[in-house]
């Protein structure tokens, strides 16, 4: 009589057990969804332990399916790789953020834990360790550098990533109880309390910073002029509120300087290839995917328009790449190099040490938002920065002035006719 074919994933019948040295081995055959007959085995110090482990493995197989990528026995480190490989159409910067946070914080903290054993309490405990912070040295020889492995922001990002990773595991029916063990974020108030207050430059501070940068450029007597485009770039950053990468990706074809309302069409940014580590111009901006290549026109102030017109008329023929800001060879200005020049110029001829240490290229974006919000309102500032949410602009980019409490009129009646008391 022919043997009855096994159904996909079972039934598996009674296991066979044997002894291999000091270990006991229990195994059973099953059929996967492709019709292949496979053997599953488990080992233990005793026959009962091996049998129980085999039952647990088979229950895992039954729940997830015979060909599931993810099982409850999958570790968090393995899950992170499977989840990252499943992502599609995300911006390179987003992928880099996810991959780095998993590599730097999640995997070293909880990577070896099986997802079927990861409870809410366990994950919360590990996230607290990430929130506590830490520093890790990477590299060797004279190229060792320190990177932060934790902190409040790192915890928030790690929690977000873990939530998506376990949702991915739920799709594969790999979590007992079908409940995502990653809890809700309860540390928002803590992060907000530790957040550095938004600070925009005053007119006097901007003038002083500009003076230092000009002095830094003029101090070089020989060779190509260092930071040759820095002063113009600073003015354009402040006058538009664009990001550093968007500024360095600006092309002459993106400028409409002779229109009735001159504007800059923001069409791309400078980003880094995760595999080759080379920088390139990406034809869409932060927050957009390859399917949504949105562009945004930003009206230019009169002074910024004149600056760019002068460059267009005097230098456009020398720019084979079409970029407004280029390096000495006419190629891309890399964001790290731009920030390095910024730091050197910022502290040049400083009379009070590095008193402008808080001033970064992003400070120009915050200053632009503050100028617009104080004159045109917060929603106008949100539009200028191209934020979806007004709360993002308010909390991270707007240097809000203290509101003067003025209820003087309420006290006029009770003090009416009262003379100044004698000394």
CA 247 to chain centre: 19
For the segment 268-286, the average pLDDT, to the nearest whole number, is: 85
Q: Would the pLDDT of 235 be above 80? A: yes
pLDDT score, position 149:
74
Spatial contact of 17 and 24, defined as CB atoms under 8 Å apart: yes
Furthest-apart CA atoms within the chain: distance in Å: 120
Q: Which residue has the tokens 């938004």?
A: 198
pLDDT score, position 402:
60
pLDDT score, position 190:
65
Half-sphere exposure of 183 (CA within 13 A, CB side): 15
Of 381, 321, 368, 338, the residue nearest 200 (C-alpha): 368
**Which of the four pLDDT bands, split at 50, 70 and 90, describes residue 1?**
very low
pLDDT in tens, 368-394: 999 998 888 889 989 998 888 888 888
Half-sphere exposure of 247 (CA within 13 A, CB side): 27
DSSP class of residue 411? G
Every domain range in the chain assigned CATH 1.10.443.10: 203-355
For the segment 240-257, the average pLDDT, to the nearest whole number, is: 93
Among the ranges given (77-91, 116-130, 347-361, 405-419), the one the predictor scored with the smallest mean pLDDT: 405-419
The total of other beta-carbon atoms located within 10 Å of residue 168's CB is: 19
3-class DSSP state of 298: strand
Half-sphere exposure of 129 (CA within 13 A, CB side): 12
The total of other beta-carbon atoms located within 10 Å of residue 254's CB is: 19
Q: What are phi and psi of 130, to 5 degrees?
A: -65, -40
CA 264 to chain centre: 26
Every domain range in the chain assigned CATH 1.10.150.130: 76-194
Q: Which of 174-178, 242-246, 349-353, 408-412 has the highest mean pLDDT?
A: 242-246
Q: What percent of the chain has pLDDT over 70?
A: 81
Q: What are phi and psi of 301, to 5 degrees?
A: -60, 160
CA 393 to chain centre: 17
**Which of the four pLDDT bands, split at 50, 70 and 90, describes residue 160?**
very high
pLDDT in tens, 57-104: 777 666 655 556 788 888 999 999 999 999 987 877 788 889 999 999
Comparing 411 with 237, the larger pLDDT belongs to 237
In words, the CATH class of domain 76-194 is mainly alpha
The Cα 9–Cα 18 span in angstroms is: 23
CATH of range 203-355; options 1.10.443.10, 3.30.930.10, 2.60.260.20, 1.10.390.10: 1.10.443.10
């Amino acid at each position: 009589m022919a043997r009855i074919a096994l159904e996909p994933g079972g039934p598996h019948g009674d296991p066979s057990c044997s002894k291999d040295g000091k270990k006991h081995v229990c195994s059973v055959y099953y059929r996967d969804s492709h019709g292949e007959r496979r053997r599953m085995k488990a080992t233990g110090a005793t026959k009962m332990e091996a049998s129980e482990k085999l039952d647990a493995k088979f229950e895992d197989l039954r729940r997830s399916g015979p060909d599931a990528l993810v099982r409850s026995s999958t570790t968090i480190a393995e899950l992170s790789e499977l989840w990252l490989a499943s992502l599609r159409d995300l911006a390179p910067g987003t992928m880099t953020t996810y991959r780095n946070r998993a590599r730097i914080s999640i995997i070293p903290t909880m990577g070896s834990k099986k997802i079927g054993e990861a409870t809410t309490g366990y994950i919360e405990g590990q996230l607290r360790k990430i929130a506590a912070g830490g520093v890790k040295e990477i590299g060797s020889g004279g190229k060792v550098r320190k990177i932060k492995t934790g902190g409040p922001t790192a915890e928030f990002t790690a929690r977000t990533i873990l939530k998506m990773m376990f949702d991915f595991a739920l799709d594969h029916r790999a979590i007992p109880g079908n409940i995502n063990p990653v809890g809700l974020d309860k540390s928002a108030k803590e992060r907000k309390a530790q957040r550095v207050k938004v600070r925009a430059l005053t007119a006097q501070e901007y003038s002083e910073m500009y003076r230092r940068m000009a002095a830094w450029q003029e101090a070089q007597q020989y060779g190509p002029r260092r930071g040759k485009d820095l002063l113009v770039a600073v003015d354009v950053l402040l006058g538009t509120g664009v990001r550093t990468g968007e500024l360095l990706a600006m092309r002459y074809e993106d400028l409409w300087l002779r229109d009735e309302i001159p504007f800059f069409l923001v069409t791309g940014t400078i980003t880094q290839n995760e595999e080759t580590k080379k920088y390139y111009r990406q034809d869409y901006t932060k927050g957009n995917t390859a399917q949504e290549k949105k562009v945004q026109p930003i009206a230019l102030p009169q002074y910024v328009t004149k600056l760019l017109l002068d460059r267009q008329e005097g230098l456009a023929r020398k720019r084979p790449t079409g970029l407004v800001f280029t390096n000495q060879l006419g190629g891309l200005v890399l964001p790290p190099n731009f920030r390095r020049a910024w730091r050197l110029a910022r502290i040049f001829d400083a009379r009070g040490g590095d008193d402008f240490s808080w001033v970064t290229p992003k400070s120009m974006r915050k200053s632009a938002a503050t100028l617009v919000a104080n004159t045109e309102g917060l929603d106008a500032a949100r539009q200028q920065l191209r934020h979806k949410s007004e709360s993002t602009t308010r909390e991270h980019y707007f240097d809000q002035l203290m509101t003067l409490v003025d209820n003087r009129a309420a006290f006029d009646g009770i003090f009416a006719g009262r003379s100044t008391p004698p000394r």
